[in-house]
Structure 1
Amino acid sequence: MSRQPLRLALIEAAEQLDAAGVRNARVDAELLAAHLLGIERTRLGLTPLVDESVIDAYRVMVAKRAERIPLQYILGTAAMGNIDVEVGPGVFVPRPETELLLAWALAFLGTCDQRPPVVLDLCTGTGALALAIAQARPDAVVHAVEKEPHALAWARRNAGARQDAGDTPIHLHQGDVTDRTLLSSLEGGVDLVVANPPYIPEGAELEPEVAEHDPHTALFGGVDGLSVIKPMIGNVARWLRIGGAVGVEHDDTNGSDVAALFSARRVFGDVAEHPDLAGKPRFVVAKRIATDVEASRGGAHADSSSAGSERMES
């Protein structure tokens, strides 16, 4: 069987992907080749010649990517922190931008004096964020919530794989993060809440990889992109212990709006906006602070009257 230069195949693939409108065409071409060969992308230059059958298989993968099928669907995995999770049709593909939320979450846990810390991941999808936190902080008790049954099945699959790899198991729950009765057993006992909820405003123009493949329910948050975030904040208030923190990813048009939603509630302080690597608003963080009533009672957790008032707020 003849052998052919890999370099020429990479050039051809990058040109094909670029013509199809794929961003970072060269990077995707290299990632596909590295996956097929089972090597690191940085080692592609050490593989000058490959079998013709490999080139044929590579061209099939490139053709799929040129159809704007998500790269992660073709690879079968997506990265988050130090782990990979399985992805495929019917579940939201974790994005590199969420790595910034993960980094913030781990930094906060590094300052948290609660042992073991309790973490709650909302709208978990594949479970990537929850599982990455559990892998990095094996002492943490991590809960994750997902509404959609198909996505929850992916999360369970990934959680099982990470448990088999020796990571601390996470606790998966099916539920609606806007439900005011959800996870009442965790009220006042959570140290960290993270969320990557549906937040894209309806009608927004999206890349084909997103519009045609990510589930609609995982993407859109109503006309303003806030239909899930607004009611979710009341739940966050009752779940967090005093001194706990929350980080919520949002659409890049809604940074100040999400910050204002937290600032408007008397139980949140230290509200801050965080940009992504491109400088666009990406996620908002806040801390659970004691109300005057809670401070006077010296409680470490939200008292029932305060939690109840938060549930009544719109």
Structure 2
Amino acid sequence: MASSDEPVPLSAALNRAAARLAAAGIGDPAVDAELLAGFVLGTGRGGVQAAAVRGERLTADDAGRLDELVARRATREPLQHITGTAPFRHLELRVGPGVFVPRPETEGVAQLAIDALRAAASPSPIAVDLGTGSGAIALAMATEVPHAQVYAAENSVDAFVWTKENFALVGAANATLAFIDLAAAFPELDGTVSVVASNPPYVPDAAIPRDPEVRFFDPPAALYGGEDGLDVVRVLSGVGLRLAHPGGTIVIEHGEWQGEAIRAILAADGWLAAATHPDLTMRDRATTAIRP
């Protein structure tokens, strides 16, 4: 073992970190080790990899800091909670306890909403993100469709702290945030919205998420959606009908086995052309429909 003040080869520190994370059941231990080292060094994964190839060493302080972060990650604390940020499309969002950490699969859901928004006939279309959480979908729409007006609703006090920070950080002038329950959101927009998007809680109450990062760290209000997981989806369908103009689109993220049930809910409420879309792993991930 190196003495307390002796520099540590970065490659050795990465290998040690990856081994510890692998033993803790982390799915991509080498990736997480590099990301944590990058957080310590103020660089990205590419910078860490290049530094390791060059044979660079960590100071004793940096090596100790990396060890501390790896120990936290080995408890299955989410990487994003440790670094305080979560990448989402081109954005870097601030996240932490109390807010749902945006997942890569939601980037495809955002793409469906963005595509529908770009296709809207209005020169200044309106979009709404209901239950915005970190603000991921809303801020993606606002920054990638700058001629749109985007409204986001969140009703969790703990999550709203992070939402406000992300809206301020991104600074999109065309994005408006409100602390309001999604069922009552934006009555002033009734009948004018081109895209209604949401990543609602959709885990059935009796289901136990497999990953400890989800089970122990994501807020329950962002996960569980009633006995079949679809209680909030049923509310979304009605709210979407209120908000959307004829020809407007609803985009709802969901679990891979829920597409058929959600299509049935939307069709029963009068939505047209309900269709379910896979994510990049070919698992059903989102359902869209058109307002008659």
- Could you tell me the TM-score, scaled by structure 1's length? 0.86
Question: Does residue 146 of structure 1 match 2:150?
Answer: no
Check conservation: 1:236, 1:246, Cα contact below 8 A: yes
- TM-fit CA distance, 1:2: 3.4
Q: Give the gaps of 5 or more residues in structure 2.
A: none
C-alpha deviations, 1:117-154, integer Å up to 9, x for none?
A: 10100110111211121111222111001111221221
Q: 2:235 aligns with which of 231, 235, 244?
A: 231
1:113 paired residue number: 121
Task: Report what 1:60 is aligned to.
Answer: 68
Aligned to 1:312: none
* Cα distance in 1 between the residues matched to 2:186 and 2:181: 10
Q: Is the 8 A contact 1:188 1:239 kept in 2?
A: yes
Q: Would you say the 8 A contact 2:118–2:145 is kept in 1?
A: no
Conserved in 2, the CA contact under 8 Å of 1:135 and 1:168? no
Q: Which residue identity does 2:258 align to in structure 1?
A: N
Supply the RMSD in Å over aligned alpha carbons. Answer: 1.4
Candidates 76, 89, 98, aligned match of 2:84: 76
Which of residues 166, 174, 184 is equivalent to 2:179? 174
Matched, 1:277 2:285: no
SS at match of 2:217: coil
Check the 8 A contact 1:178/1:228 in 2, yes or no. Answer: no
Q: Tell me the secondary structure at the aligned position of residue 11 of structure 1.
A: helix
Indicate the residue corresponding to 1:201 in structure 2.
204
Does structure 1 residue 38 correspond to structure 2 residue 42? Answer: yes
Question: 2:255 & 2:216 partners in 1: Cα distance?
Answer: 19
- Alignment correspondent of 1:24: 28
Aligned pair 1:12/2:12, yes or no? no
- Once the 2 structures are TM-superposed, how far is the Cα of residue 203 of structure 1 from its aligned partner? 2.1
Post-superposition Cα deviations, 1:175-223, rounded to whole Å, max 9, x if no partner, equal: 22234xx422111100111100111111222211111111111110011
Residues 216-259 of structure 1, C-alpha deviation per residue, up to 9 Å, x if partnerless?
A: 11110011000111122011011111111111001222111111
Range moving further from structure 2, 102-111 or 87-96: 102-111
Task: State the one-letter code of the partner of 2:255.
Answer: D
Separation of aligned partners in 2, 1:32 and 1:204: 31
Once the two structures are aligned, what percentage of the paired residues are identical?
38
State the distance in 1 between where 2:110 and 2:37 align: 28
CA-to-partner distance for each residue in 1:266-298, whole Å, 9 max, x for gaps? 2x2221101122222111011112xxxxxxxxx
Counterparts of 1:65 and 1:76, CA distance in 2: 13
- The C-alpha deviation readout for 1:7-45, integer Å capped at 9, x for no partner, is 111111111111111121221111111222122212323
CA contact (8 A) 1:4 1:52 kept: yes
Map 1:249-264 to 2 at 5 A: 249-264=253-268
The answer to whether structure 1 residue 286 and structure 2 residue 286 are counterparts is no
Within 2, Cα distance between the matches of 1:45 and 1:95?
24
Q: Which consecutive unaligned segments of at least 5 residues does structure 1 have?
A: 290-314
Secondary structure of the corresponding residue to residue 183 of structure 2: coil
User: Is the contact made by 1:85 and 1:126 (CA closer than 8 Å) also made in structure 2?
Assistant: yes
Structure 1 residue 169: Cα displacement = 4.4
**One of 215, 219, 222 as aligned partner of 1:218:** 222
CA contact (8 A) 2:78 2:217 kept: yes
Write the deviation string for residues 151-183 of structure 1: whole angstroms up to 9, x where unpaired.
Answer: 1221111111111xxx3242112222234xx42
- Mapped partners of 2:92, 2:217: distance in 1: 20
Distance of 1:18 and 1:276 partners within structure 2: 26
Distance 2:40 2:240 in 1: 43
1:162 maps onto 2:170 in alignment: yes
Q: What CA distance in whole angstroms lies between the structure 1 residues aligned with 2:231 and 2:248? A: 24
- Flag as ranges the 4+ runs of structure 1 deviating above 3 A: none
Q: Residue 294 of structure 1 corresponds to which residue in structure 2?
A: none
Query: In structure 1, what is the equivalent of residue 187 of structure 2?
Result: 184
Of 214-223 and 24-33, deviating more is 24-33
